[in-house]
């Protein structure tokens, strides 16, 4: 039987509606009172691109559009490919100090000559809406089991990385519990693989993390009841490696350069020769008919990641507004 398609569209739209309501409420609260009160300030998300390749530009545009849908103001900052680490850091410092900016999202990957880790770690904790700083990851690592299912870190500065948070939210939306299950993640980056492992651990899965030196990758993946592909290589994870009845999550997104990528359809990627516009890290067509559920590429994890970024941004704006004006009546500071 064909696996359940974990379409990211419906939950992302629900989350966006909730974010839009929170943005409207924030603007109402910060806009003064009385019938003639002006609408308050919209939250601002700075989207920092360094080296505007085709994919980076597309990612930037998608984030801009998503912001506009919910009333968040996007501030696109595009720096040339040759920008030095010191210049990126200086730009981040300026955005950190800019009272109008609530969130800063630095688009990964940066050009090779830029010290990416230093840049992520320079983003102020309260504005790290991508959740990519060492502090945000550290908070996730030390959170109590069962306490990290929400996309923020429980009121503390720092945020849960958007893509892993999106995956957990997607599983939850489709009622797929992971407690007690064997989860196998392929990829150990600090942006996807590691925070994903921490979130699944927090949700009581038994977690194995694989990487480029894992021996017998196929054998390890075969043990997974939940398999997460976060490897960054098109269809590296073969369908035949995956056991019948597994839940398959594909964080990868690789547009076909010759056709570009089109929208966020929910079809299964049928490999590089197909016309869906993108493929993922998992050979989905070879497993879609016998797994319990899978995320399509495009249209699975992607729309939910955008939604999580919006959630983190409005949360950052709410926290900043509370710091400026004090909490609403009845809520402790
Ligand atoms: P990354 O930083 O390049 O990390 C890739 C990971 O995959 C590394 O841990 C690497 O192992 C492992 N790997 C590489 N080749 C392997 C192999 N042959 N066998 C086993 N493991 C192997 O990539 P990333 O940024 O985490 O992204 C992962 C995927 O998620 C990509 O498809 C990307 O498009 C997608 N994604 C990323 C983001 C983001 O914010 N970065 C957001 C959404 C989606 P080593 O550690 O041993 O090198």
Tens of pLDDT, residue by residue, the chain (333 residues): 789 999 999 999 999 999 999 999 999 998 866 655 567 889 999 999 999 677 778 889 999 999 999 999 999 999 999 999 999 999 999 999 999 999 999 999 999 999 999 999 999 999 999 999 999 999 999 987 877 544 455 556 679 999 999 999 999 999 999 999 999 999 999 999 999 999 999 999 999 999 999 999 999 999 999 999 999 999 999 999 999 999 999 999 998 765 444 433 334 444 443 445 899 999 999 999 999 999 999 999 999 999 999 999 999 999 999 887 765 545 544
Predicted local distance difference test score (pLDDT) of residue 151: 45
**What residues does ligand 1 touch, defined as CB less than 6 Å away?**
108, 163, 186-189, 191-193, 210-214, 217, 230-233, 236, 251-253, 281, 305
Listed in sequence order, the residues at least 6 apart from 187 whose beta carbon sits closer than 8 Å to its beta carbon are: 193, 196, 209, 210, 211, 228, 229, 230, 231, 232, 251, 281
Nearest residue CA, atom 39 of ligand 1?
191
Q: What is the pLDDT of residue 275?
A: 45
pLDDT reported for residue 226: 98
Q: How far is the CA of 237 from the centre of ligand 1 (A)?
A: 12
329: tokens are 């009546």
Q: From the CA atom positions of the chain, what is the Rg in Å?
A: 20
The residue whose CA has the least distance to atom 4 of ligand 1 is 189
DSSP 243: P
Place of tokens 């849908």: 69
- Closest ligand 1 atom, residue 161 Cα: 40
Task: Name, in order, each residue with C-beta under 8 angstroms of 41's C-beta and a sequence gap of 6 or more.
Answer: 27, 30, 31, 100
Helix axes 162-173, 9-30, angle to 10 degrees: 120
pLDDT value of residue 206? 98
HSE at residue 155, side-chain half, CA atoms within 13 A, is 6
Mutate to test the pocket of ligand 1, among 192, 217, 221 (most ligand atoms within 8 A of CB): 192
Instruction: Compute, in angstroms, the gap from residue 59 CA to the centroid of ligand 1.
Output: 17
Prediction pTM value: 0.91
pLDDT of residue 101: 98
């Amino acid at each position: 039987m064909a696996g359940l398609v974990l379409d990211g569209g419906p939950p992302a739209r629900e989350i966006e509606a909730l974010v839009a309501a929170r943005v409207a409420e924030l603007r109402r609260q910060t806009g003064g009172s009385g019938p003639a009160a002006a609408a308050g300030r919209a939250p601002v998300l700075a989207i920092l691109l360094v080296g505007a390749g085709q994919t980076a530009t597309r990612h930037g545009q998608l984030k801009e559009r998503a912001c506009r849908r919910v009333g968040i103001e996007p501030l696109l900052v595009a720096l040339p490919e040759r920008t030095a680490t010191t210049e990126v850091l200086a730009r981040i410092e300026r955005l950190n100090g800019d009272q109008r900016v609530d969130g800063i999202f630095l688009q990964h990957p940066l050009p090779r000559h830029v010290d990416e880790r230093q840049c992520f770690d320079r983003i102020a904790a309260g504005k790290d809406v991508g959740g990519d700083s060492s502090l945000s990851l550290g908070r996730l690592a030390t959170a109590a089991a069962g306490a990290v299912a929400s996309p923020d870190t429980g009121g503390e500065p720092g945020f849960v990385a958007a893509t892993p948070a999106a995956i957990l939210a997607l599983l939850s939306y489709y009622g797929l519990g992971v407690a007690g299950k064997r989860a196998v993640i392929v990829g150990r980056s600090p942006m996807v693989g590691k925070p994903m492992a921490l979130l699944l651990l927090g949700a009581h899965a038994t977690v194995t993390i694989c990487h480029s030196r894992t021996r017998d990758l196929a054998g390890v993946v075969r043990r997974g009841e939940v398999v997460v592909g976060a490897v960054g290589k098109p269809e590296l994870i073969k369908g035949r490696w995956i056991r019948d009845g597994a839940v398959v999550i594909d964080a990868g997104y690789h547009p076909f350069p010759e056709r570009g990528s089109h929208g966020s359809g929910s079809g299964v990627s049928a490999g590089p020769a197909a016309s869906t516009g993108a493929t993922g890290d998992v050979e989905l067509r070879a497993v879609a008919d016998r797994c319990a559920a899978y995320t399509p590429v495009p249209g699975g994890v992607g729309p939910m990641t955008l939604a999580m970024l919006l959630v983190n941004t409005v949360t950052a704006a709410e926290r900043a507004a509370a710091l400026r004006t004090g909490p609403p009546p009845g809520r402790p500071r």
